Copies of this chain bind each other. A is one copy, B any other.
Amino acid sequence: MQDALIINTRDLEFQLFEVLDAETLTQRARHADHSRETFNAALDTAHAVAVEKFAPHNRLSDEHEPQFDGQRVTMPHEVKDALDALRATGFLAASKDYEWGGMQLPAVISFACLSLFKSANIATSSYAMLTSANANVIERFGSDAQKRKYLGALFEGRAFGTMALTEPQAGSSLSDLTTTATPNPDGTYSIRGNKIFISGGDHELSENIVHLVLARIPGGPPGVKGISLFTVPKFRVNEDGSLGARNDVALAGLIHKMGWRGTTSTMLSFGEHGECVGELVGEPHHGLAYMFHMMNEARIGVGLGAVMLGYRGYLASLEYARERPQGRHPTSKNPLDPQVPLIEHADVRRMLLAQKAYVEGAYALSLYAARLVDEQNTGESDDARAEAALLLDLLTPIVKSWPSQWCLEANSLAIQIHGGYGYTREYPVEQFYRDNRLNMIHEGTHGIQAIDLLGRKVTMKQGAALKLLARELQRSIDAAREHATLQAHADALGAAWRDLNGTLEALLPALATDTDRALANANAFLEAFGHIVMAWTWLRQALVANAALPGASGAADQDFYRGKLHACQWFFRCELPRVASMLAPLRTLDDTTLSMAPQWF
């Protein structure tokens, strides 16, 4: 079944065990029970559940959106069946402590498992992803009582989680949230306000739903410094974990989207008609910091979702291009010759190679980020852990934005390869394209990632994160210069990095003195930085492929490594050169956008 082609398993193996050395993680105490075999068993199980339970209803739940009859939200039962299978196999707690029923898998392995669910069905898998992100916040910042109440239920999937941040009047501007949390004598809070775009905000997929809600305790400071975080369950939870009365969290309406239709997107009203009880998480007025913990993880997850939609489209169009006969070579005009498969046409091959470069590169970057999470959690020294955290912090805007932009472009190319068929709903690729368009918007828009990167991340701790990335890049460059076939790439990456740093030096003084102008072209910086990070990611893959190729025994492995080297070459020849023109407006502090008066439009 074409629909079920969710991953190139050879690539997955390459990323985890050849590029990222995931097997070495078994030497760490936390993962001591694990081995390459247990990792593979988890991946195989995830693959089977993804193919058998998640992929088959991907189109169905797109065509049959959740419906609200005023009482309940209903959707095709296949969504719940798939999530039940995921629950049963324990993936909601894959990386969690044995104590919580988890498997103590490294982040990079559980993330790879998650990638398979996302590829198979982004909408259905997002219920699980939100639940897992939600549980992480409670695990890290919640009280013991909150953990007892919620964590087991979330890890087992009896309860699903949401993150309820956005309000209709505030959007990206969390500073302007108005939902209130008024203290009650018993230590709880009464929540009142409206939230919008809350994914998984209501459904019948789990016994309970635990909302993590940002709200203001009256009397607190204005702006983001007065925002607190609350657990607000759909059904109140008794001390023994049993469910109590319905909390007044009301579904004010469902939102109808272009894609990603299988995930309920909701408007919720809290405490409008009755009592809505919430419990404070951590300290008052620290809510945003806690939520950012969740958001950073969610951002890596959004990036991964974008990757997998791109990946899926790539595989579908590759299969189509191999099977569909269409036309002849430009120099072979005899109409009596048989038609050649699409893949024989140079321009189709370009579109496949571009997709391969985008999606396999972005997949490598996503898994690299997950590997940094492991290093941050279980790295062998304080320094190693701190460095990993710092590097991840710097790269997060790229890990989120680059796949959102370029794997969407990959989806467009997948449609193009299918021709008119690609534009129809009889083929899967148009849905991937619609689904993927969301990723540049949610969990911080592209513009917000850009300001985060240029306005905060590159300068934080006196540029320590940037220096760290420079060191890592240089390591790869030095290694690549040892190999004749990679030398030109190494030089090109070095030159692009110097170009970026030169630009940044010109920008830095302005960032302090003329911030609006220095940040005006932040988007260009995000794109240039992203392309450099991606070139580096390809160079690291090429180093591994180049080393492995001479010893590769089978034709399949040789082909695989050659493909990696060729995709790397494509990225360096056709994509990396774009960095120069991306940087141009930054170097000159170009103010064309800033100086465009609103009335001139």
Contact = CB atoms under 8 A, between A and B. Distances in A.
Interface of A: 166, 169-173, 175-176, 196-197, 222-224, 255-259, 265, 318, 322, 325-331, 333-336, 339, 343-350, 352-353, 356, 412, 415-416, 419-420, 422-426, 430, 433-434, 437-438, 440-442, 445-447, 450-451, 455, 515-516, 519-524, 559-560, 562-563, 566, 569-570, 573-574, 577-578, 580-581, 584-585, 590, 592-601
Contacts of A425: 256-258
B446 A416 contact: yes
Given A322-B598, A445-B419, A581-B581, A353 B592 contact: yes
A335 B258 contact: no
A369 B222 CA distance: 56
A-B complex: 8 closest residue pairs judged by Cβ atoms: A223-B335, A563-B600, A173-B327, A346-B520, A347-B447, A258-B430, A577-B581, A350-B593
Contact of A349 (B339, B348, B570, B593): B593
28 contacts: A196-B420, A223-B333, A257-B430, A258-B425, A258-B430, A259-B423, A265-B424, A331-B515, A343-B598, A346-B520, A346-B521, A346-B522, A347-B447, A347-B450, A348-B447, A349-B593, A349-B594, A350-B593, A352-B601, A353-B596, A419-B445, A563-B601, A570-B596, A573-B585, A573-B590, A573-B592, A574-B585, A577-B581
B595 A566 contact: yes
Contact of A441 (B322, B356, B416, B445): B416
Given A424-B256, A590-B573, A600-B563, A327 B516 contact: no
A433 B562 contact: no
A559 B600 contact: yes
A319 to B, nearest CB: 10
Contacts of A334: 223
B420 A516 contact: no
A578 B521 CA distance: 16
A330 B197 contact: no
Nearest to A352: B601
B423 A441 contact: yes
A417 to B, nearest CB: 9
Given A196-B420, A343-B601, A560-B600, 17 more contacts: A173-B339, A175-B335, A223-B336, A256-B426, A257-B423, A258-B433, A265-B424, A331-B516, A347-B450, A352-B596, A416-B446, A524-B574, A559-B599, A559-B600, A562-B597, A563-B601, A573-B592
Contact of A515 (B170, B330, B574): B330
A328 B322 CA distance: 52
Contacts of A345: 447
Contacts of A455: 330
Most chain B CB atoms below 10 A, which of A522, A597, A599: A599
Contact of A424 (B258, B353, B577): B258
Secondary structure type dominating chain A contacts: helix
Contact of A224 (B335, B419, B441): B335
B601 A420 contact: no
Given A173-B339, A349-B596, A350-B523, A441 B422 contact: yes
A322 B420 CA distance: 37
A521 B166 CA distance: 45
A330 B447 contact: no
Nearest to A451: B330
A570 B593 contact: yes
A523 B347 contact: yes
A569 to B, nearest CB: 6
Most chain B CB atoms below 10 A, which of A329, A433, A516, A574: A574
A597 B559 contact: yes
A424 B255 contact: yes
A269 to B, nearest CB: 17
A52 B577 CA distance: 49
A224 B336 CA distance: 11
Contacts of A580: 577, 580-581
Contact of A519 (B330, B415, B562): B330
A482 to B, nearest CB: 23
Most chain B CB atoms below 10 A, which of A171, A594, A597: A171
A562 B352 CA distance: 43
Contact of A420 (B171, B348, B447, B573): B171
Contacts of A573: 584-585, 590, 592
A84 B593 CA distance: 44
Contacts of A166: 420
Contacts of A422: 441
Given A350-B523, A440-B416, A580-B581, A329 B516 contact: yes
A288 B507 CA distance: 57
Nearest to A415: B437
Contact of A592 (B333, B335, B559, B566): B566
B353 A593 contact: yes
A329 to B, nearest CB: 6
B442 A420 contact: yes
A474 to B, nearest CB: 25
A318 B437 CA distance: 20
A504 to B, nearest CB: 17
